[in-house]
Amino acid sequence: MPLVYAGVCSHAPGIVGRSDQADPTIRNELYAAFDQMRQGIEATKPDALVVVAAEHFANFFMDNMPSFAIGMANSYTGPIEDTAWLGIDKTKVPGNAELSKRFIKEVMNTSDVAYAEEWQFDHGIMVPLHFLTPNYNLPIIPVNINCQGPPLAPLHRSWAFGESLRAAADALPERIAIVGTGGISHWPATPDSGKINEPWDAEFLDRWCRNDRDALLDYDDTTIYADAGQGGFEIRTFIAISAAAKQAPGTVHFYAPIPIFAVGCTIASYAI
Amino acid sequence: MSLYYVQKFLYEINRSETVRDQYFADRTGSLASYDLTDEEVRSLVEPDIGMLFHMGVNGQILMHFAPLHGIEWFDYLRLMREGIAEHGPVRAGVYAITGYEGVDNHADNLGQQSHAIDGVPSTTSATEES
């Protein structure tokens, strides 16, 4: 069954954990956009949701860091963070080990990927799920791209990985939706938290919506770090979704810099 | 200096209740199996958030460690800024590529509107302050 949904969203912990400190008007607009994304996903009646995230040392560390990893369990737990700090209760999230296994085997035809039968979700997945599957009733296949601990796989490898994810989804009989999560420009968890480069974000999202492979890959980590912060490395998740969407055009449904959330909050999807 | 093991300990305490319990029962003792300098042990035991950030600990690990000690978000940001001001630029790790110019200065340099968070004054360049 061809992929049924492809989109991206922000995952910053402040979106939930510091919700009371944001301007309520813009915060509510963001929440409404998340809810529209939820409805969009549900309308495609997916059997599983693949979440391509950039986890933050919750499961993978520099003792054995995979560039790409996929979960293969019947359930996952999260959040790893202090629940009061994140504003999300600890819960068990459903997975589907058998479906994950078939998905991973398909991905392995074209990309090298680690698999994990244990996975604790951090805010990179829990914040999106808080809005997109609030009842935790849709099986999740977690996917991670290392965006935190350099050396990082180059951007063209994220594109190739996204193509592999698409080929795997298309090869399975189940209806698969896919969502990438991450920031664009941001300096999360540093003294410069709240810094957001709006023009850089606008340029990136323009390239993303045009699904222009050459333009999306025309970045390097040196300039990303300088112009978009270390959080900008997470564009790898957005680029993987672009590849998964093939030539489809994209639409940004919501974008707003919200400094207390430490990122230009984004909700976007492709018309696949 | 063993930034790797400082971060390894933080990675493990962030994800393991057992490691957390051991740490809060005997902070120094819980670090015995890690290859750490005296300065690193002291910074983890106090904890000294500013020194840990100066050492190069990734903020994605450090920001989870801070709430374990009841450190609020704005205090966490302030402590990192104070660490840079006192000790100088980040000396290793992903943030060692550049110093910290502060949100206001970054916006000025780009000719953009600042997104400094209300109530958290932006800092000046660590290089200028050190």
Average pLDDT over residues A66-84: 96
Average pLDDT, chain A: 97
Average pLDDT over residues A15-42: 97
The residue type of A235 is I
Q: What is the ipTM of this complex?
A: 0.91
Chain B residues contacting A via beta carbons under 8 Å: 4, 7-8, 11, 14-15, 53, 58-64, 67-68, 73, 77, 80-81, 84, 94-95, 97-98, 100-103, 106-107, 110, 112-113, 115-118, 120, 123
Domains of chain B, first to last: 3-87 (1.10.700.10)
Decide if A76 contacts A92 (C-beta within 8 A): yes
What are the C-alpha distances in Å from B30 to residues A80, B27, B41, B56? 21, 5, 10, 21
What pLDDT score was predicted for residue B121?
45
Q: Does A188 touch chain B (CB under 8 A)?
A: yes
Decide if A207 contacts B126 (C-beta within 8 A): no
Q: Is the CB of B58 less than 8 angstroms away from the CB of A260?
A: no
Average pLDDT over residues A247-271: 96
What are the C-alpha distances in Å from A39 to residues A42, A133, A263? 5, 10, 24
What pLDDT score was predicted for residue B99?
53
Higher local confidence (pLDDT), A226 or B98: A226
Decide if A99 contacts A107 (C-beta within 8 A): no
Average pLDDT over residues A154-165: 98
Decide if B10 contacts B65 (C-beta within 8 A): yes
- Banded model confidence at residue B102, pLDDT cuts 50, 70, 90: low
- Banded model confidence at residue B129, pLDDT cuts 50, 70, 90: very low
Condensed to tens digits (0 to 9), the pLDDT of residues A170-215 reads 999 999 999 999 999 999 999 888 899 999 999 999 999 999 999 9
Condensed to tens digits (0 to 9), the pLDDT of residues B109-118 reads 667 776 666 5
Decide if A139 contacts A174 (C-beta within 8 A): no
What pLDDT score was predicted for residue B111?
72
Tokens of A21: 């400190």
The residues near B71 (Cβ < 8 Å, ≥ 6 apart) are: B49, B79
Average pLDDT, chain B: 84
What pLDDT score was predicted for residue B96?
77
Average pLDDT over residues A38-42: 98
Handedness of CA A59, A63, A66, A72 (dihedral sign): negative
What are the C-alpha distances in Å from A84 to residues A14, A18, A90, B102? 12, 10, 10, 28
Condensed to tens digits (0 to 9), the pLDDT of residues B39-66 reads 999 999 999 999 999 999 999 999 999 9
A140, pLDDT greater than 50: yes
Condensed to tens digits (0 to 9), the pLDDT of residues B72-85 reads 999 999 999 999 98
Taking every pair of Cα atoms in chain A, the longest distance, rounded to a whole number of angstroms, is: 47
What pLDDT score was predicted for residue B116?
65
What are the C-alpha distances in Å from A272 to residues A44, A123, A131, A245? 11, 27, 22, 6
What pLDDT score was predicted for residue B130?
27
Backbone angles phi, psi at A265, to 5 degrees: -70, 135
Q: Is the CB of B102 less than 8 angstroms away from the CB of A192?
A: yes
